Amino acid sequence: MIPLGNDGARPPLDTWPTGDLLEVLWAGQAGAIAAVQSALPALQRAVDGAVERLAGAGRLVYAGAGSSGMIAALDALELGATFDWPEDRTLIWIAGGFDLRRGPDAAAEDDAAGGRAAVRAAGLGASDVVLGISASGASPYTVAVVDEARARGAMTVAVASCADSPLVRAADHAVVTATGDEVIAGSTRLAAGTAQKLVLNLFSTAVMVRLGRVFDNLMIEVRPANAKLRQRRIAIVAAIAGVEPQIAADALERHGDVKRAVLGLAGMHAAEIEAALIHAGGHLRAALGPDDGRRGARRDDRSPR
């Protein structure tokens, strides 16, 4: 609720009580989340197009400047640990690079030539997907990346808060979140930044699900980088295959990863497992076969081979 002065006018924001300030900041964030909903149809088209490209050996490229670049990098860096997405298939381009001591280089946002050079140096082509993130949709660096990538056949996606912007016009797909005026004028780290983070979360998660890196709601490709995640993999195998944790742990030890462990517990020999995964394009559910409609694998063979 906006506090009004005695004359009925809104007092300067910096004079508001902390509670009222937090309320209006929260309302701005809630509005940003609501703005993403109207962009879901465009986001769906972008996800489906990306899956077609990335089902092969394509790369996923994140490009942005300033805070948009940092938000993009955060999403990109989570893909490996969560979905085992290969680092060599993830490119993160922040205009001017990024130094944790000083943050992004604000001046580099204007470096359109640098954006085009990055695309050429990477040799982007028809199998690649490029996400350009810019709240205003006017960052010269980001627009140049998207424009050059599209010209070279890559699929391009603009994530912006302004529909009539150069970035939107340059891309194959435009995901526009109309977040409106910021509580702090011009500070895109607020509503626009929240919308960007949500759009990227939705996009990358949906892409990874469609690529078979999730079974039901389980992270079957999670990397066992620590004790907690090793236990999580055991629990995942146990849940899918319907076996006790020790049996799941033994299967993981024998087969090496979640998919192969589940297929082994379903009664497949090693050669059959590899053939089934290749035939299924790496999708565990397809590899298990149409005769198994349950969440879990068949449990006709739980013994070591």
Report helix, strand or coil for 281.
Answer: coil
Q: d(Cα 58, Cα 146) in Å, to the nearest integer?
A: 16
Catalytic, 109? Answer yes
Residue 119, Cβ neighbours under 10 Å: how many?
Answer: 25
Instruction: Please give the C-alpha separations between residue 247 and each of 195, 241, 261, 305, in angstroms, as whole numbers.
Output: 43, 10, 10, 13
User: Is there a contact between 71 and 193 (Cβ–Cβ < 8 Å)?
Assistant: yes
Catalytic option among 23, 78, 272, 274: 78
Which residue among the candidates 109, 148, 182, 221 is catalytic per the annotation? 109
Phi/psi of residue 65, nearest 5 degrees? -125, 155
Specify whether 148 is catalytic: no
Say which residue the tokens 């993999």 belong to: 233
Element (H, E) at 42: helix 40-54
CB 176 within 8 A of CB 42: yes
Query: Which are the catalytic amino acids?
Result: 78, 109
